Amino acid sequence: MIKIEEILGYTTSKDKSNETITRKYYIRDTAKPPQVSEITPELAKKKFEDFAKTLPIPENMELGEVSIDEEKSARNLYYGTISFKKPDGAKVKTKIADDLFEMFGEKLVEGRKSATHERSFRVKANTAHNALDRLESYIRSTKEVSGRLHIGDISVDEEQDGDGFFAGHVVYTNPDTHGSRDKMSGIVPAYGSRYSANRTSRSREHVFELRGYNSVQDAWHALANNYGSNPDVESIDVEEDSSGGEKLFTGRIRYSLEKEEDEYNRSVSFEVSGSQTKMTCSIATRGGWAAFGNSPRDYGGLIGVTNDGVEGVDIDTAVSTFCETVYFYPWFLTSRYVAFLTRAYGCVNIMPFRGFDVGEVRFLDASGGHRLKSAARRVTTAAMKR
């Protein structure tokens, strides 16, 4: 019997001309011994395609690609993907009013000293002038700024499309700032703040533009007076960045963030050992032989039968035990999760796990603890035995 199960989590993708929704599934054969079967890629795909046709299709979309990943297949298990998309030629948009739609596909470009944010619209009107008035009225009543960007330009194309709509464009840019007119005494946060991380620490650098100061020293003191009281500040640097005319300075403040300890990485330990088990009864009897003219005696599958009893035979059995240590944030480690671990005791895996087949790994125990100096709680899921 082939069973299809959805994997939690799906992805959506939107741009100016298209939108897709992608969902992922397991396709597996639930047959158990002695009816073990190997599901073929052709059969898995055929069943998966039939299944896809039964799914409800999201509004204004159609069924797209249906595929299976043969490279990631395991015994009796395949990964499948189903996508839904907008019909060819359909425009992806958000309805604001009957005469105004915003298109998907906003563009935001950020640099160290400048940035732009572009939005696209469709406006229904008799003339381009009326379309511009309609678009400008909406923008100025809803969103005159984007971050620290102000409206730079509002425009519409002169020609209508076939449906009586004009294409509209709104561009936000950096405001013109000069010295004393800056709201922060000539200190303006610039785009392009940098974040860095290595094995033991993290840091963030904020960049500023400083106008209206006579020297590097004056600009440095102004920046230090505004931000230097923060205990996380590691360094403050200012350099002159003028190309003639009014003096312009560039300031950089580096913040040192909390250190990341090595112990917050996932760790795994394991042990593989062997033991001997005495078998007194065979799994099956393949044949029996006796001296010529005699019939073999049937011992019912017993091994090593003597006049004194059943001796059996010792066989080697491999045993592997492994545990993993994982760190969770407090919001994840709830009483409900602990109850879930309790109910999972003694259960075996229903999907391939860490290289072991279905039913070969059994969950034995878990332990946890709380670190008072960090925002994480620790749970050690231990002693899973094959």
Domain encompassing residue 219: 181-256
13 and 114 share one domain: no
- The helix (H) or strand (E) run that includes residue 209 is strand 202-211
Note whether 248 and 241 are within 8 A (CB).
Answer: yes
Note whether 341 and 365 are within 8 A (CB).
Answer: no
Nearest to 127 by CA among 100, 160, 170: 160
292 and 347 share one domain: yes
56 residue type, one letter: P
371 and 282 share one domain: yes
344 and 381 share one domain: yes
The residue among 85, 104, 131 that closes a domain is 85
15 and 126 share one domain: no
75 and 100 share one domain: no
pLDDT tens for the chain, residues 1 to 386: 788 888 866 677 766 567 788 888 888 887 765 556 667 888 888 999 999 999 888 877 888 899 988 776 666 788 899 998 877 656 667 889 989 998 877 787 766 566 788 899 999 999 988 999 999 999 988 888 877 678 888 899 888 887 889 999 999 887 644 333 344 467 776 655 565 655 556 677 787 878 788 888 888 888 888 887 777 788 888 888 765 556 788 888 888 765 544 445 567 777 777 777 888 888 778 777 777 767 777 777 888 888 888 888 888 877 788 888 877 666 567 777 788 888 888 898 887 777 788 888 888 888 886 654 443 444 444 455 55
- pLDDT score, position 19: 76
Owner of token pair 């309805």? 95
Nearest to 324 by CA among 363, 376, 278, 292: 363
75 and 123 share one domain: no
246 and 269 share one domain: no
- How far out from the chain centre does Cα 279 lie? 49
User: CB within 8 A of 353, min separation 6: which ones?
Assistant: 360, 361
- The helix (H) or strand (E) run that includes residue 42 is helix 41-52
Task: Report how many domains make up the chain.
Answer: 4
Peptide bond between residue 34 and the one before it cis (omega within 30 degrees of 0): yes
The dihedral through the CA atoms of 131, 134, 138, 141 has a sign that is positive
- pLDDT score, position 66: 92
Beta strand pairing call for 202-211 and 248-256? antiparallel
The residue among 114, 142, 173 that closes a domain is 173
The residue among 211, 236, 256 that closes a domain is 256
202 and 277 share one domain: no
244 and 304 share one domain: no
233 and 294 share one domain: no
- pLDDT score, position 380: 42
- pLDDT score, position 261: 47
22 and 124 share one domain: no
